[in-house]
Chain A
Amino acid sequence: MKPLVLSNFTASSCIGLGLDETRESLRAHRSGLKPCDFETVDIDTHIGEVAGVDAVQLPAELSSFDCRNNRLAELALRQDGCMEAVVRAASRYGRKRIGVFMGTSTAGILQTELAYRRRDPVSGALPDSFVYSGTHNSFSVADYLRRRLGLEGPAVAVSCACASSAKVFGSARRMIDAGIIDAALVGGVDSLCLTTLYGFRSLQLSSSRPCRPFDVTRDGISIGEAAAFALLERPTEQVSGDDILLLGVGESSDAYHMSAPHPEGQGARRAMQAALAAAGLEPGDIDYINLHGTATPSNDRAESHAVTSIFGPTTPGSSTKGATGHTLGAAGGLEAVISAIALREGLMPGGVHTAHVDPTLTAQYLRENRRAPLSRVLSNSFGFGGTNCSLVLGRAG
């Protein structure tokens, strides 16, 4: 594929609002996970909650979009000059020439969950204040962002479970290649809700302790929330060494099981191979892998198998979910931004909370931060339904 430049990017998660705080947390090997105190949830688990989401106010004319998910989107949009960069791009290219591609798994479903507690005792109706289209519907976050930013190009929500906001890079890449748009706001926004907290518990996939990817004692995920954005454009001659490029996107399907990965990670392997092929790279060209690393026993085993089958046992990798939690539909976008930080900083962030790497997992797993110049990074995202996406990001110089 023709490389694209991430001309602006930002992420907000439980390890920080915006790039500076996120970078500081990664440098300090810090986790944002805490015992679950979200809403009325009574589950013995840890969560990654973004501070200050409840206090965010949406513009009055967009009040029909008011929900935790869009407040989180608004909060993240205000970081790192993201909003201004998109507005500048719109004035440069035209507002019809910028697409919006947003990954989410549950959007603002929390609003519906709360509304179901307030049904009319006689009719069963939901309260008048509940607005489905601006909150619950998966499109709500993409719709909110295009209205907030005054964009009139193609807009869509990609909802492929936990691969959603990696796959948006693929959709945007194709549409820029086709010449339908000149730039794209891509990313993902997923926020804490009861559906995922109780749902992952029902599948016995959430840990009571902070999640421990690749650890011998790993026993499930910690759910987090995040919003991450990147503005993708064709690179110009002004691209400099510190600029971050999207070099490859690879996608595949497991065709195996709805909620379990192929045991040997065959789908994951095909996604990584496709991303390398799209980037025109060999496995040896990758300096660091930001693993999907959810910390469920089967996911990490399958991913380790797949990674080793391509890269052997020496390419360093880690999961940042011990720091951020698993931010589900936002994970691909968040980890793309973390990969971009890694490239700029020459920092491979060690996996937080992992004390003893499972000796039966053959992939090279970093527990401690490691400093080294990085040229190219691979980021993995895999989801329910057996949907897989790998991204290759690199420094421009």
Chain B
Amino acid sequence: MMLSTYIAGVGVLGPGFANWEEAQLILTGKTPYVPSRTVLQTPALLPPAERRRTGRVVKLALAVALEATTGADVAPAQLASVFSSSGGDGHNCHELCQALALEGREVSPTRFANSVHNAAAGYWSIATGAKLESNVLCAYDASFGAGLLEAMTQVTVDRQSLLLVAYDTEYPEPINAKRPVPDAFGMALVLTPERRPNSLARMEVALSEDRADALGDPLLESLRLSIPAARSLPLLLHLARGDSGRTTLDYLDVARLVVDIEPCR
């Protein structure tokens, strides 16, 4: 079975671009890429009680998910979802480990509830009323590829429209020295089984043993290699250009994902 879907919406947020519109200008060379710290906003769509509790990873995931679903003009409640992250909320994890290393070991109940890898998916579901299936994955550096493969499979096999969110944020020290992720990067796609009037492109994905494509711009290539979710950049480059073609994306050490993309125009 060919894994084939249509892309209806894109969200992206990272060091030096605040949204898909800015990223498109950078990826197509219309504006130079000037890396700067990723700016994360408190998600307005969460109820105030939940809003106070969210860390960077939730802000990141909700921002790109909201951009993609808004752009696709799809109600989030109609979408299943796949969230994929290489590490979850590193700051929250650090605070918990620090508390557990102290006398008394008093951990914050909110921090503990937020420590689950599916925290961002849970908050997204609460914020938008999305009640369909939601899967939350981790495959270390292969997390974007694993998320894309899971999402493509679900849309193709179950004929279910779906939101894919891939997102990573940094750990603080001392874990950062063991797992250096320099900043936050997130991306989201709304995928549908059938073509819609506002579909951006058709995409086919298959396993491959080819090498992953690099990006020509050394700064963007450095970003691709340093944050797992940014392994998606060659795909976003094709979408930004609006051209048809093939790109090979990083996945596991033993496999890559080859993507054939064709714009809907």
Residues of A near any B CB (own CB < 8 A): 96, 105, 109, 112-113, 116-117, 119, 124-126, 130-133, 136-140, 142-143, 152-161, 167, 170-171, 174-175, 177-180, 194-195, 198-200, 202-204, 251-259, 267, 270, 274, 383-387
Extra contacts, 4 of them, besides A160-B121, A171-B135 (Cβ < 8 A), are A125-B173, A174-B154, A198-B105, A253-B131
Q: A195-B96, A195-B112 are in contact. Are A385 and B87 (CB under 8 A)?
A: no
A143/B140 contact (C-beta < 8 A), A195-B96, A387-B118 known: yes
Q: In the complex, how many angstroms separate the beta carbon of A45 from the nearest chain B beta carbon?
A: 13
Output the residue of A177, A180, A252 with the most chain B CB within 10 A. A180
Cβ proximity bits B121-160 to A, threshold 8 Å, 1 near / 0 not: 1110110111111111111101100100110011011100
**Docked pose: A252 CA to B130 CA in angstroms:** 9
Known: A252-B132, A257-B126, A386-B122. A156 touches B96 (CB 8 A): no
6 A-B pairs, CB-CB below 8 angstroms? A117-B101, A138-B117, A139-B142, A175-B153, A180-B153, A385-B118
Set B1, B117, B125: member contacting A159, Cβ < 8 A: B117
Cβ of A116 and Cβ of B98 under 8 Å apart? yes
Q: Which of A161, A179, A251, A253 contacts B116 (CB 8 A)?
A: A161
Give per-residue flags for B92-118: 1 if the beta carbon is below 8 A from chain A beta carbons, else 0.
010011101100011111001111111
Q: B3 within 8 Å of A by Cβ?
A: yes
A326 to chain B, nearest CB (A): 14
The answer, among B101, B109, B123, B140, for a CB contact under 8 Å with A137, is B140
- Chain B residues in the interface with A (C-beta under 8 A): 1, 3, 50, 53, 86-88, 93, 96-98, 100-101, 105-109, 112-119, 121-123, 125-126, 128-140, 142-143, 146, 149-150, 153-154, 156-158, 173-175, 177-179, 207, 252, 254-255
Asked if B112 and A258 sit within 8 Å, CB to CB, the answer is no
Query: How far is B207's CA from A109's CA once the two chains are assembled, in angstroms?
Result: 31
Interface centre among B121, B122, B252 (most CB of A within 10 A): B122
| A202 near B107: Cβ-Cβ < 8 Å | yes
B139 touches A267 (CB 8 A): no
B106 and A202 form a contact (CB under 8 A): yes
Which chain B residues lie closer than 8 Å to A124 at the CB level?
A: 173-174
Residues of B within 8 A of A112 (CB): 93, 97, 175
Collect the chain B residues with CB atoms within 8 Å of residue A255's CB.
Answer: 125-126, 128-131
**A131 and B175 alpha carbons, distance in the complex (Å):** 10
Residue contact B132 to A198, C-beta cutoff 8 Å: no
- A305 CB to closest chain B CB (Å) equals 17
Q: Which residues of A contact B178 (CB under 8 A)?
A: 126, 130-132
State whether A158 touches B122 (Cβ < 8 A): no
Please name all residues of chain B whose beta carbon is closer than 8 Å to the beta carbon of A142 when the two chains form the complex. Answer: 139
B1 x A179 contact (CB < 8 A): yes
Establish whether residues B255 and A199, one from each chain, have CB atoms under 8 Å apart when the complex forms.
no
B138 touching A386, Cβ below 8 Å: no
Are A105 and B117 touching (Cβ within 8 A)? yes
> Which residues of B sit under 8 angstroms from A140, Cβ to Cβ?
140
A177-B84 Cα distance, complex, nearest whole Å: 22
Name the contact of B100 in the complex, choosing from A194, A256, A270 (C-beta under 8 A).
A194
Which residues on A sit within 8 Å (CB–CB) of B207?
96, 154, 180
B112 neighbours in A (Cβ, 8 Å): 195, 198-200, 202-203
What distance in Å separates the Cβ of B116 from its nearest Cβ neighbour in chain A? Answer: 4
* CB of B247, distance to nearest CB on chain A (Å): 19
What A residues does B134 contact at CB under 8 A? 160, 251, 253, 387
- Cα(A252)–Cα(B80), bound, Å: 9
Give the one of B132, B134, B173, B179 with max A CB within 10 A. B134
Look across to chain B and name the residue whose beta carbon is closest to the beta carbon of A124. Answer: B174
| Most chain B Cβ neighbours within 10 Å, of A131, A255, A259 | A255
Q: Does A156 lie within 8 Å of B177, measured CB to CB?
A: no
Chain B's nearest CB lies how many Å from the CB of A165?
Answer: 13
What's the Cα separation between A316 and B137 when bound, in Å?
Answer: 34
Is A116 a contact partner of B254 (Cβ separation < 8 A)?
no
Interface pair A160/B100, CB less than 8 Å apart: no
- Give the residues in chain A near B53, CB-CB below 8 Å: 258
From the candidates B3, B116, B133, B177, name the one contacting A385 in the complex (CB within 8 A).
B116
- Asked if residues A258 and B140 are in contact (CB atoms below 8 Å), the reply is no
Give Cα A7–Cα B76 distance, bound, in whole angstroms: 38
Known: A199-B96, A256-B126, A257-B126. A383 touches B137 (CB 8 A): no
Closest 9 CB pairs of A and B: A385-B122, A199-B112, A251-B133, A159-B117, A138-B138, A116-B101, A132-B178, A152-B254, A259-B113
A154-B114 CB under 8 A given contacts A96-B254, A126-B178, A253-B125: no
Q: Which of B101, B108, B116, B130 has the most CB of A within 10 A?
A: B116
Quick check: B138 and A157 within 8 Å, CB to CB?
yes
In the assembled complex, the Cα of A58 lies from the Cα of B223 at a distance in Å of 35
- Residues B125 and A202 in contact, CB atoms below 8 Å apart: no
Chain A residues near B142 (CB-CB < 8 A): 139, 155
Asked if B97 and A113 sit within 8 Å, CB to CB, the answer is yes
* Chain A residues within 8 Å of B173, by CB: 124-125
Are A132 and B175 within 8 A (Cβ)? yes
Q: Is the CB of B122 within 8 A of A384?
A: yes
Q: Which of A153, A194, A203 contacts B113 (CB 8 A)?
A: A203
B97 touches A160 (CB 8 A): no
Contact A126/B96 with A132-B179, A178-B153, A180-B153 known, Cβ cut-off 8 Å: no
CB distance from A336 to the nearest CB of B (A): 17
B139 touching A155, Cβ below 8 Å: yes
* Smallest CB separation, A285 vs chain B (Å): 22
A204–B113 CA distance with the chains assembled, in angstroms: 12
Min Cβ gap A264→B in Å is 13
Q: How far in angstroms is the closest Cβ of chain B from A340?
A: 23
A52 CB, nearest partner CB in chain B, Å: 25
